[in-house]
Structure 1
Amino acid sequence: MSQKHETWGWMLAFDFFFAGMGAAMLLFAGIAELFLGSNLSTLGIFAGAVFVGLGAGLLILELGRPFQALRVFMNPKAILTFGAWNMSIAIVAGLLLGSCWVETFPWYGSIALRKIMAIICVVTGLIVATYPGILLARHKGRPFWNGPGMLVIFLTSSLLTGFSAFVVCGWLGQGAPVVSSLFPKLAAALCAFQFVLWMGYLWIKNTGTTEREAAAAKRWISGNYAGPFRVGLMFLGTLVPMVLFLIPHASSTGIAGLLAILGGLLMRNLVVYAGQDRTWLPGEEKYRSRLPHGDEAFLQKVWTKQV
């Protein structure tokens, strides 16, 4: 049996990564525009919109039937529809906000348009950055995902990767002074929070929840996810960037930003694949074990006769 309809794969993980990071970048750009009246980075604003669009494209491919993608916008009660509309609005608002800082566009310098687009970027950016955690937390049959903790984990990672992306823009010489002075410190604080958050999440799952949730958490503590989690996410993607962010040097903060971004990508892949652990309905495992896999002798015989 194909696993496509049983679990999600790397494309959804990359969607969560790009959409979350891009949405956080638009969120920060909107806040800076509204409260500071400044442009954090024109490159960063455009990159945020492109990242959200890239995530949306990967989501369409993961869901299948890309030529029927418009149908995802037509069910107002579905959380996917809610997410799809907010991603689309965020992309348009981000592109318009970025273009307000480019002289070739006729609306260059329009303060009113900048403020309106900034408000939309703040609202939709926050929603899109939070949305993946909400989507996963609603799956009661997936022990590792279930619960409000997943929402906080994804929002924290989105904010961290968004900060880091702007730090990288500053490293490349495409960021405002506030990026180089304030963002590394904020990113370091988020790294520390992410470390504590993951420790608490796994401890709660392992000791204070159901037997299946504890079993799922053990895979992260001492199972097949332990190595990538400890070395990749917690050490290289969290602790090392936290230290480098605090070193007042452009190269150190730039490398820290890249490591934090890669850590966010790894985290989403691990979390998505952790959804393979699921709670089965009574009798469901027995039923599925009896379904044909496609290579049974009687099926081969039938296909041979038809040919």
Structure 2
Amino acid sequence: MEKQQEYWGSLPAWYFFLAAMGAMMFIIVAITDLVGNEISGQINGWVSIVAFAVAGFGALLLLIELTHKSRGHLVNSRPFASVMSFGSILQSLYIPLVFVYATFFFSFIPWAGFGWLKEIVAILAIITAFLYVSYPGIELGEAKGRGFWNGSGLVSVFLINGAATGASALLLILMIMGYADNSYTAIIRRLAAGLLIAQLITVPGYVLGMKLSASEEARRGAEKLWTGEFSHSFWVGVVILGTLVPLLLNLLFASVYWLVIAAVLVLAGGVCFRLDFLRAAVRVALPGEERTEMSKKEIAQLALSLERRWQEKAQWLNPKR
């Protein structure tokens, strides 16, 4: 019998990570533009292109994950039939909106000087990006067979983690573009620190809440992260190296070297977070499914016992005279 897939694969986790990181990074710079910060004219075009490329690569990973890749477009045929279909529509809107927004920051584009049009596109893209980041948590929460995802705080945890990775990715781009000493970089640095504090509280808090849940599947999933098979990845990768260490580096050091290390650690922790939260969801077992599979040794012993039984029966049916 074909073995059931216990965990989601890594491709959806990478898709969720890239989508959240790119969209939250875009939201930050787009709001910067709307409030009139002058630095937006220098960085928003390139940051938006990065967000566009990240979202496109994430969409490609999602397409690869589909069983029938040539039928991936069918998920858009009924946009409100499921959360996944709605998310696909959001993705189809978000990616071109981000690309169009980026074009306003390059002078050779004919409509680059239309500020009013840029603001409209920015507002639409921000709304779409926020929904785009939110929908994975809603989609997972709809999976009633996996109690670990059914907590009311899942969407908030996903948003906080996405915002932390987005702010860290933006810090890396600012460093690369030579804005390490800019006051705007200091603002993003403080924003990243605040988000890491929130993540340090909410992520372990969510797992602890599921650990105390009334649902057996939720408790089993939380135990996998708290003390079980994924505990090292969770505590070391997500909590310590992905949150606590970069938070301390952010607060204690101001050099580019340490800030880059902190940002990279946050991004790596974001990947671990998505992987762990997908793998931790234990699904409800069907009747008889939890029966352990027989080992090869047990099968061989059973076959030997059956063979002996058949020989005994054959002797009984055909006694020697």
TM-score normalised according to structure 1 size: 0.87
Residue 308 of structure 2 aligns with which residue?
Answer: none
Report the CA distance shift for 1:106/1:230 in structure 2 as closer, same or farther (over 3 A).
same
Give a deviation string over 1:109-134, Cα, whole Å, max 9, x none.
Answer: 32122112211121011011111111
> Structure 2: which 5+ residue stretches go unaligned?
295-321
Residue identity opposite 2:98 in structure 1: G
Note if contact 1:170-1:179 (Cα within 8 Å) is conserved in structure 2.
no
- C-alpha deviation, 1:272, in angstroms: 1.3
Checking the alignment, whether the CA contact within 8 Å between 1:100 and 1:107 is kept in structure 2 is yes
State the alpha-carbon separation in 1 of the partners of residues 179 and 33 from structure 2.
14
Please report how far the alpha carbon of residue 41 of structure 1 lies from its aligned counterpart in structure 2 after TM superposition.
3.5
Report how far residue 36 of structure 1 moved: 2.4
Measured on the aligned residues, the alpha-carbon RMSD in Å equals 2.2
Map 1:1-307 to 2 at 5 A: 1=2, 3=4, 7-38=7-38, 39=40, 40-76=43-79, 77-173=81-177, 177=182, 179-246=184-251, 247-275=253-281, 277-281=282-286, 283=287, 285=289
- Work out the percentage of aligned pairs sharing the same amino acid: 30
Deviation at 1:286, TM superposition (A): 6.8
Partner of 1:296: none
- Tell me the amino acid that sits aligned with residue 47 of structure 2: G
Deviation at 1:2, TM superposition (A): 5.1
2-side partners of 1:124 and 1:158: how far apart? 15
SS of match in other structure, 1:182: helix
SS in 2 for 1:105: coil
Contact kept in structure 1, 2:45 and 2:104, CA below 8 Å:
no
Distance 1:221 1:279, change over 3 A: same
Q: Is the 8 A contact 2:45 2:102 kept in 1?
A: yes
Count of matched residue positions in the alignment of Structure 1 and Structure 2: 287
**Counterpart residue identity of residue 46, structure 1:** I
- Work out the CA distance in 1 between the residues paired with 2:48 and 2:17: 17
1:7 Cα offset (Å): 4.2
Provide Cα deviations, 1:124-162, integer angstroms capped at 9, x if missing partner. 110111111111111121122112221111111111111
Superposition misfits of 4+ residues, deviation over 3 angstroms: 174-179, 286-290
Cα distance in 2 for residues equivalent to 1:288 and 1:112: 64
Shift of 1:25: 1.6
Cα separation, 2, equivalents of 1:175 and 1:139: 43
Q: Which has the larger radius of gyration?
A: 2
- Which stretch of the first structure deviates more once superposed, 32-41 or 248-257? 32-41
TM-score normalized by the length of structure 2: 0.83
* Aligned match of 1:300: none
Q: 1:189 to 1:37 in 2, by over 3 A?
A: closer
Question: Shift of residue 271 of structure 1?
Answer: 1.2
256-265 or 246-255, which deviates more = 246-255
String of CA shifts for 1:180-217, please: whole Å, max 9, x gaps: 11011111111111111122112211224323322221
